[in-house]
Amino acid sequence: MCLIKFSITLLKLKPLDFKEKYGNWAVVTGSTDGIGKEYAKELARKNLNIVLISRNLVKLNKTKDEILTLNPSITVKIIQVDFSMGKDVFDYIQTELQDLPIGILVNNVGILTEYPMYFDEISEKDLWNIMNINIASLTIMTRMIIVQMLKRNKGAIVNISSASNLLPVPLMSVYSASKIYVRYFSDAIRSEYKKTKLTIQCLSPSYINTNLINFDVSFKNRYFFPDAITYVKSAIATLGRIDSTTGYWAHDLQEFILLFIPAGLITNFVFFKHKAARKNYIKLKGKNID
């Protein structure tokens, strides 16, 4: 089923005019690395003005300069916030976005633990960080922006989930749970607003060669694990055409194959793989952990 849906993008369809279809401005959270950065660049190439939201001011300014080099005719605005701070940051964001007609919101910001961990090993601070960054940020940013989109009856919300939403992931328990939230949330509000002209898309990529996955070098530089540039060029072509997808043909193939394998076997294999990755990372870093 997923392969059939994704095959639409393999057809040489005329690219959508995002600016005309959705509006002049795009907001991208977690926009200084990986998927978020490349998504912002691709939207800039499509002549949308960009709002970059992230926590590192140096990286924000660097990304802004890179985008303006790609397209000096657009406007790039930066908002420095740390979503791990929770509720307090959103009043500031709303003030900064006031009067900007946001056409596309990309909820990309996300975090996982430093390496695969048993649940009791995760600090309470890290648990709150994962919940604030992976769940609360997406929820509140969507609530903030969707109101104005509904008034104009156009706009797109792109929520970045993960292939880990397909099943429970041992040693990444809270992260995988947060990603099934993203998928269910996206599917639910898409149904709520199906009579409008809003696009609610959920992207569920498998492993991508980014800084987020830094605990297992075996995932790097493989044909089935693209870099962020390759992934985003593929994924952005699905916006406005496919509501729920991995965003990349090889990831769709992986998902399709998984449908025929008992979930328990997959969970056990992932547990085995993550235990090995955990052990290797601990050894590499010289951590004294059993």
- Cα–Cα distances (Å) from 158 to 109, 182, 183, 222, 270, in that order, read 12, 10, 11, 26, 27
pLDDT in tens, 31-49: 999 999 999 999 999 999 9
| Domain boundaries, position 245 | 2-285
pTM to 2 decimal places: 0.90
Q: Which of 217, 194, 197, 193 is nearest to 207 (CA)?
A: 217
The yes-or-no verdict on residue 287 having pLDDT over 70 is no
pLDDT value at position 14? Answer: 79
Residues whose CB falls within 8 Å of the CB of residue 221, separated by 6 or more in sequence, listed in order: 209
pLDDT value at position 226? Answer: 92
- H or E element at residue 182: helix 173-192
Return the CA Rg of the chain: 19
pLDDT value at position 238? Answer: 96
Q: From edge to edge, which strands make up the β-sheet containing 244-245?
A: 76-80, 49-54, 25-29, 102-107, 155-160, 198-203, 244-245
The yes-or-no verdict on residue 267 having pLDDT over 60 is yes
- H or E element at residue 28: strand 25-29
pLDDT value at position 9? Answer: 47
Query: Are 180 and 226 a contacting pair, CB within 8 Å?
Result: no
Q: Report phi then psi at 191, rounded to 5.
A: -70, -40
Is 246 within the bounds of a domain?
yes
Q: How does 83-93 read in b/e, with b if 16+ C-beta sit within 10 Å?
A: bbebeebbeeb
- Cα–Cα distances (Å) from 149 to 117, 144, 186, in that order, read 40, 10, 16
Is 290 within the bounds of a domain?
no
Is 135 within the bounds of a domain?
yes
User: Which residue in the list 175, 231, 248, 281 is annotated as catalytic?
Assistant: 175
pLDDT in tens, 197-222: 999 999 999 988 876 555 454 555 45
The yes-or-no verdict on residue 63 having pLDDT over 70 is yes
In the residue annotation, 175 being an active-site residue is answered as yes
CATH number at residue 250: 3.40.50.720
The percent of residues above 70 in pLDDT, for the chain, comes to 90
- Residue whose entry in the numeric block shows the structure tokens 């870093």: 285
Q: Which of 166, 167, 173, 90 is nearest to 130 (CA)?
A: 173
Residues whose CB falls within 8 Å of the CB of residue 208, separated by 6 or more in sequence, listed in order: 34, 35, 225, 226, 227, 228, 231
CA angle 138, 219, 37 (to 5 degrees): 40
pLDDT in tens, 219-230: 554 567 899 999
Is 189 within the bounds of a domain?
yes
- From CA 50, how far away is CA 34, in angstroms rounded? 16
What is the number of domains present in the chain?
1
Query: Are 250 and 223 a contacting pair, CB within 8 Å?
Result: yes
